[in-house]
Structure 1
Amino acid sequence: MFPPLPEQQRIADFLDRETGEIDAFIADQEELVAVLQERREAVVTHAVTEGLNAGAPTKNSGVAWFGDIPLQWQLRKLKSIVSTPITDGPHETPEAQSSGVPFVSAEAVSSGAVDFEKIWGFISREDHARFSRKYKPQRGDIYMVKSGATTGICAIVETDLEFNIWSPLAAIRCGASALPRFVLHSLRSHNFQDSVALHWNYGTQQNIGMKVIGNLSIPLPPLEEQAEIAAYLDRETAEIDAVIADAKEAIEVSKERRAALISAAVTGKIDVCNHVATMGV
């Protein structure tokens, strides 16, 4: 049953006004998220390529996308700062289990950390033991997605939980000359991500080989400065990420409110006439 035409018009006018306000708020929050993400990227990129000392003398890095770097820094290939060769997970599809050892793939790598709510599934302890002969995760390891739409996205292991990884992920384990958190920030910088995009291949999907990853470079300061920069970026990015999370939550709540409002209005659960009258007082 449809309401009479005059009431349909009142409902339509009500929803146009109310959803218009909600949509405008959502658009503002989405713009805020975009601005904050750009700011985050700029803060990280500046710190890992120019350092925190504005007046420090610089030198030409020799790489166009890095430009000048502080005089005491070195441009180092990733393969030269790892304690073990860059590797990946098994190139086979394991049998999924209802429980067992968490098995992590590209979907779980985002926002700089491994999201165990988005794992591929679980594998048997037998498969885990077999896969671990090639690579066994440990705290401080860094993963880079090396195939698919999210190629280049990186995350660090922040847990001692036992798990394993699949072949779309390259595993980078830092050696004595590089602090994992500094390297993570470097790999997430705009300049490094540009270098990834310049070197990946296209087949059925974009991908980048482990040898290519190993030959990509980052500017590397002395260890003490790495620690200072990493601590600064952990603090600054955490603040930005918190505001981004609040804005994204506001967007989701607003979308839910919009959907509920439409449903309530078109099913007669809102007295649009009284609402309009109240609004006009």
Structure 2
Amino acid sequence: MVKGNYQWTIQKYQRVLPGEFAMNHMDLLTGYVDISKYDGVTSPDYRVFSVRDNNDFYSRYFLYLLQDGYKQRRFFHLGQGSAHLGRWRLPTEAFNEIIYPLPSLEEQVKIADFLDHETAKIDKLIEKQQQLIELLKEKHQAVISHAVTKGLNPDVLMKDSGVEWLGEVPEHWLCSKIKHIALLTPKKSAANFKPNDECTFIPMEKLKRNSLVTDESKFIREVINGYTYFEENDLLLAKVTPCFENKNIAVACGLVNRVGFGSTEIYVLRPTEKVQVNYLLYRLQEDNFIRAATGAMTGAGGLKRVPSDFLLNYPIAIPPKSEMDAIVDYLGEQEARYDLIEKNATNAVQLLQERRTALISAAVTGKIDVRDWIAPDISDIKATEEATA
């Protein structure tokens, strides 16, 4: 088939029809299985199959059974390959010899219908918790944005910042640029350390939002060349996508000998006496900054970076020290509050997911008897949903 100048072919793929199973048997660690809703193609490495006889075997029952096999790792002992490399495949011979519990067709249908109904209820609860988590993140960000651009006093006199997207700022705040309040990438030649001293080492994956994983140390002589140098209370900022968009920004704390080295994809900002490091942390997590910096990124694909010139010349409004301290204290309290609510919601999602997995496992292995289960009337379901909405 020719579409424009693009030659499209399915010769290297295998056909999958609606109602057929598509199974990633090449990876029992992160792979999965599902029933196709479409007439299409899939990887030749996947396993495509269907039940032999619809009069004896109900596909949705076997789907739950196979998905439970992945979730509970029931197939894992049959695998071959290199699990540590993410390649733990289920050979065809072993797959064909797996013995499955086989109730009557009527009970297979009843089990599948029961699970369709119950998992749909759990999925709705999970969706609500996930929506709550997203709403909490939005509200938390709005609190940060308002505090670091407008302050905490709603009655304060305002002035035009001179920056279109920033708008008005408190009249007594100082409008400046980052290069006037912080030093970017301090020179290690001015540092006071010895080559045989130990230091904290921070690869990119250990720079998180508001925290560093400081469990790795090296001798300074091993990292002094080719890595980014920083000290206690410096601000570390991921410069590369997607780490930057994920707001992987943190204050360096708890460093071995108060010195650290890390990935060259990290910017280091050392605040002057004009700004508190935690205020700058919150300011650079504000959405307008993230959007503007993302738009200014240079490079290609997954290697886009925030230019240093953009960072240095980014406009920022600075409150007096006492007000800055109050803003930092306030945002710290708010962050603890929002983090606790989000943690509870995340735990609720995890418990619901565990409940879902356990329910499927119990139903397809006969641990619970659903032969007498009757599907609720749809009108009753809608009334219950409206009452709990």
Normalising by the smaller structure, the TM-score range is 0.7 to 0.9
Name the structure 2 match of 1:175.
272
Give the superposition deviation at 1:241: 1.2
Offset, 1:212:
2.3
TM-score scaled to structure 2, two decimals? Answer: 0.62
Residues 270/146 of structure 1: CA separation in 2 closer, same or farther (3 Å cut): same
Determine if the alignment matches structure 1 residue 219 to structure 2 residue 291: no
Displacement after TM superposition at 1:191 (Å): 2.0
Query: What does the per-residue CA deviation read over 1:48-99, in whole Å, with 9 as the maximum and x for residues that have no partner?
Result: 00001111111111112211000111222111112x433599xxxxxxxxxx
Are the equivalent residues in 1 in contact too, given 2:199–2:255 (CA < 8 A)? Answer: no
Q: Among all aligned residue pairs of Structure 1 and Structure 2, give the percentage whose two residues are the same amino acid.
A: 30
* Amino acid in structure 2 at the alignment position of 1:158: C
Name the counterpart of 1:165: 262
1:156 equivalenced with 2:256 (yes/no): no
TM-score normalised by the chain length of structure 1: 0.84
Residue in structure 1 matched with residue 148 of structure 2 by the alignment: 48
Partner residue in 1 for 2:235:
142
Alignment of 1:114-125 (within 5 A): 114-116=212-214, 123-125=218-220
Label 1:23 to 1:88 Cα distance change in 2 as closer, same or farther (>3 A): farther
In structure 1, the residue matched to 2:29 is none
Q: Paired residue for 2:171, among 71, 74, 94? A: 71
SS at match of 1:170: strand
Whole-Å Cα distance in 1 between the matches of residues 323 and 351 of structure 2? Answer: 42
With a CA cutoff of 8 Å and minimum separation of 6, indicate the structure with the bigger relative contact order: 1
In 2, Cα distance between equivalents of 1:126 and 1:40: 42
Q: In structure 2, do the counterparts of structure 1 residues 110 and 65 end up closer, same or farther at CA, with 3 Å as the change threshold?
A: farther
RMSD: 2.5
Q: How does 1:1-281 map to 2 (within 5 A)?
A: 1=100, 2-82=102-182, 84-86=183-185, 102-116=200-214, 123-130=218-225, 135-138=229-232, 140-152=233-245, 153=247, 154-161=249-256, 163-204=260-301, 205-273=303-371, 276=373
The answer to whether the 8 Å contact 2:149/2:317 transfers is yes
Cα displacement (A) at 1:131: 6.0
Task: Tell me: CA distance 1:124–1:260, structure 2 relative to 1, closer, same or farther (3 Å).
Answer: farther
Q: Distance in 1 between matches of 2:255 and 2:200?
A: 12
How far residue 12 of structure 1 moved from its aligned partner, in angstroms, is 0.9
Matched residues in 1 for 2:288 and 2:244: separation? 15
Alpha-carbon offset, residue 28 of structure 1: 0.4
Unaligned 5+ residue runs, structure 2?
1-99, 189-197, 377-389
CA deviation vs aligned residue, 1:97-152 (integer Å, no higher than 9, x gap): xxx865323323333222447xxx665553135568x62331x2211111121225
Q: Rate the CA distance shift 1:202–1:136 in 2: closer, same or farther, 3 A.
A: closer
What are the Cα deviations for residues 191-245 of structure 1, in whole angstroms up to 9, with x where unaligned?
A: 2222212322241332112232111122111111100101001101210111111
The aligned length equals 261
When structure 1 is superposed on structure 2, of 101-110 and 33-42 the one drifting more is 101-110
Distance 1:179 1:238 in 2: 19
Runs of 5+ in structure 1 lacking a partner? Answer: 90-99
Instruction: Indicate the structure (1 or 2) with the bigger Cα radius of gyration.
Output: 2
Contact 2:236/2:266 (CA < 8 Å) preserved in 1?
yes
